[in-house]
Structure 1
């Protein structure tokens, strides 16, 4: 994997937030454990009640103490209830989650002084801004022995040399999702960016293609198609990519950041430039609806952009001990695999593969070879000049100039 430090925020699958259990009085813990205090009066009964209450207080397995709470600030839908409950059992604590929709929302809230969270899940491109604002604390790697389970290909990236502040947890690929029946019938190859940019190929699927409404994503894909490295792009490369995009645009149905998931799942579009985790959700939806086709996904042989979400501990964390336990827990193979099985995300934990669902284990995007990973690039931060040029060219493309 090629190093760097910028990537756009991801559109996440949504589910209802997990509601934290309310605090229970310690007295109720006795009843929860199957003990019924005798309240009829008299010294013997009071002694029984005293013993019951003391037993409840002494038993941390009945109910975690009020301070044994880990607070997560997380993407919605990223963790299953089963994973959370298993961690709660292992640490004899409670987990309370709050959710955000994108990195900008998360960063704005924390920058404004929000407190009360222990672990946060920033994408790679906001790590350095968070470090500069002193929002993160360095990790104590002695408390994270499972760090050895992480594939070195995903460590020591330029956004956090030496992984001082974070460890990778979820990976998603900007790639191509497609209707397997339609493309096979037409003889269209989804493993090349030509399916998005070559007019000769697009002529066979005109009006059935969508691309992300994101200049950075689309320009980067066009540069891969042209054999260029987006992290080393010159002005001439940007202009060449603009020409490629302009020639392909008449064949596209729309620019879409969200609706492509549904449109793929119902069969209204046949090809989309989007995110691998979204393609996984579209595939699940199509399967549930018993569509006569599968939504598949493919990496492109010219190269792809890789998005990285991480786990980090906030400088204001009240329970860094529990935070380190949680990070170590999530780097265990079985626990890490549950992220992939839930969201179809590529996983940086080497020991997770044996626990993948069979269909995901066979998916070359979710479970890539080292040779494939070597073609994936995490985009660096653009200079202001590059960003202005790209946005100007993007405006011209969308205006038809």
Structure 2
């Protein structure tokens, strides 16, 4: 691959010749349009034109995935041919500009009239281009170092109920969770700056408990405060978290956007916990939107430290192999030639997780470098939050011993209670 290009892979559906459509895609997103224009010299095209690298046809279908008024006007109908397409875009067209990178590899492609389906699958980025952007502040290694946890996954949870608790009630719950032995706590994505727990009040209240626990126990707990807001407010919120001794902020990536996340990264060295809520809108349709591989590349260039991947066997729609692929992508270097640069981000598993889903999660990642968040799996454990945390640690012990959970549970009562309660 040319280090002066970014390579994007797609799946495309069209009743036209896929090779001609791929050429139109390359032209639309680089130096061309539907007709050659004045000033479009051969020299300019040699520098700035995107190049179609591959078109591999797949099985056609009889019905279109999406409607196109353009094709209806032209009276062009099926069969609808599908193809995998790879296009190389010159880095020089984009510069160090993350929104423009997104506009280049996606943008108007979704609106091309000849297309009845298009999904951006992945991006291949050279290390020279990756180096133009911010690295994670903590990433995997820094998050582990901050918490002093080196030999197992990080066990975390989410403030529940999602929204409605007042600041002092959240602080009480955080203290309980710290005493229970949790490593990581995060706000829910819908709790950012509510009237009943404004962030200016919530952060000091919660951090007072975390600092007291830190002083008392010598053990730190990372709290990801949801600072999702307009950009200036997010900077103020991050400053407050830092002033109170915090180490992590959380943001809803899709609603803050690439520019917003870059601004936060430039402003603070706190860990950024990237929550992907809303990603299903761009990923669930097989012939529309963006796959996780491309999505994570864009937000890793924005400098996040943790990235949500959902959970295996949880309450969301993701198949186990999708979650596995997402997690493994997070713990690999972003650039295809970036083996010497540690820009890995910590995959964050959540949604219906508990002690019984930990073995499959570990198998998926093939590493202990992940954040395992159990909301109900900790808070709803019949023995209480401390028992919920112990059940996770006991499940990890069983994995280390190569023992099935039911056998290990005979000497691990909290794990046994979790199997009895959640396993049903």
Q: Same fold, TM exceeding 0.5?
A: no
TM-score, normalization by structure 2: 0.25
TM-score, normalization by structure 1: 0.26
